[in-house]
Structures are given as structure tokens and as C-alpha cells.
Chains A and B, each alone.
Chain A
Amino acid sequence: EDKVVQSPLSLVVHEGDTVTLNCSYEVTNFRSLLWYKQEKKAPTFLFMLTSSGIEKKSGRLSSILDKKELSSILNITATQTGDSAIYLCAVARGGATNKLIFGTGTLLAVQP
């Protein structure tokens, strides 16, 4: 059965800290891995990763995929209270429908 596992489930840090969120997967016919940020409403897209070892970066956020280890990390440097959210990892399977399989998410709380 396909699964996507995220860790930790929750994390509380102070502003300015650096955090690393983990995502591991066991998915047949892997195509890509995506990271989303969910605040009070629907998820917003952060990154899509398809190749191992190539870091994607957007401001203080960065992510990298390791296809050998079947995992990905999402780094956030110099965290701010606005980074508080649930971070979701999803894996896209191959095939016509491109279904996404979501992990359980990591709840990040950044305290002032």
C-alpha cells in the first residue's frame, strides 16, 4: 500500500530558529514529490521535486529530494511567526490521473 510519512508530527520553535521537516514515502510508480503549506484554508503550493540532489529554494524555504532514500526535507531558516502552519508533503504517482498521496502533515508553531 502506498504511504507517505512525515515527521515530526508537530514542532514548536522560536522566531529565528531553523527547522527541518522530513517526508519519506513508499509509493509505486513515483513521479514527483510536492510540498504544500496549509494555514486556515486550503493548501498553497511550495515546491515540486522530481530529481534527486537538486535543491529548490524560495526565500527562506528550501527543499531537496533523495530518491535513493525515498525521502525529502523541507528547511526553513530564520523562522517567523507567519511560518506557523501545517506543512504537507504529497507524492504524485504516474499514470493518467496524477493522483496525489498526502502525508499526515507537520504542524509548525513559531513563537515570538
Chain B
Amino acid sequence: GAVVSQHPSWVICKSGTSVKIECRSLDFQATTMFWYRQFPKQSLMLMATSNEGSKATYEQGVEKDKFLINHASLTLSTLTVTSAHPEDSSFYICSSRGPLRGTQETQYFGPGTRLLVL
């Protein structure tokens, strides 16, 4: 399957700071990437759809000013958690839509980033 990387794999920060998470598709060009959040013992919740060269589309209830998404190239999308608070502590996962015809509905996930806000 397609390879998607995320960096960092984990981060601990103080309340009020901003944290940037990078998501890269390593072996194909991704016009669309997705950002998810997963709390312990819960399923993945889609936060936003990141489109290369245009503004991200946020799901209802997700603050776009708090979770800044930038998809400046076909291989990189970034999620910045601004002024992070303890309740933002979670597992953030990005995914990329499959590159080939017939696999475009398949999403390939990055390894995730664990964020802990103290």
C-alpha cells in the first residue's frame, strides 16, 4: 500500500503553545489528505479535508482558527494546533486518498501523532 508518514510521532507541550504536525505522502502525489482525531477507546473522528492549493474543509464543530491546515504541495499537509490546551491531547492521524484508479476510495493512514498538552 501507499506510504504516508507523520512527524513528530509524539509531542508533549505546555498549555498555550502551538504544535505543528506534518503529514507526507512518500510515494505518490496526494491532492486530498484527511486529518482525524482519536480519543482513547473511541473511533476516528474526521476533523477536516485538506485540499492542495485551496482552503481546507472543516467538519462541523471543528474550529478552523484553532486547527490550522496547510496543504501547500502535493506531498505535504500540515496541521497546527494553536494555543493548545489539555483537552486537545489526543491521537492525531492523517490519511491520503489512494493514488490509483480503483483505489481512490481507500485511504492510507500515517502512523499518527500523540499530543499531550500539560
Residues of B in contact with A, size category: 20 to 34
Given A43-B44, A88-B44: A98 and B105 interface contact (C-beta under 8 Å): yes
A/B pair count, beta carbons within 8 Å: 52
Q: Is the CB of A102 within 8 A of B49?
A: no
Query: Interface-forming stretch among B12-20, B72-80, B107-115?
Result: B107-115
When distances are taken between beta carbons in the complex, the residues of chain B under 8 Å from A102 are 43-46
Contact of A43 among B42, B97, B109 (CB under 8 A): B109
Contact mask for chain A residues 16-43; partner B; CB cutoff 8 A; 1 contact, 0 none: 0000000000000001101010000111
In whole angstroms, what is the CA distance A32 to B102 when docked?
Answer: 11
Nearest residue, chain B, Cβ from A47:
B106
B30 located at the interface, meaning its Cβ lies under 8 Å from any Cβ of chain A in the complex: no
When distances are taken between beta carbons in the complex, the residues of chain A under 8 Å from B112 are 41-42
When distances are taken between beta carbons in the complex, the residues of chain B under 8 Å from A32 are 105
Contact of A100 among B34, B42, B111 (CB under 8 A): B34
In whole angstroms, what is the CA distance A88 to B1 when docked?
Answer: 18
A92 located at the interface, meaning its Cβ lies under 8 Å from any Cβ of chain B in the complex: yes
Contact of B43 among A42, A45, A99, A103 (CB under 8 A): A103
Given A34-B106, A97-B49, A100-B46: A42 and B93 interface contact (C-beta under 8 Å): yes
Contact of A34 among B49, B57, B105, B111 (CB under 8 A): B105
Could you list 25 examples of A-B contacts with CB < 8 Å?
Answer: A31-B105, A32-B105, A34-B105, A41-B111, A41-B112, A42-B93, A42-B109, A43-B44, A43-B93, A43-B109, A44-B1, A44-B109, A45-B106, A45-B107, A88-B43, A88-B44, A97-B32, A97-B57, A98-B104, A98-B105, A99-B46, A99-B49, A101-B46, A102-B46, A104-B42
Task: Give the A-binding residues of B (Cβ under 8 A).
Answer: 1, 32, 34, 42-46, 49, 57, 93, 95, 97, 103-112
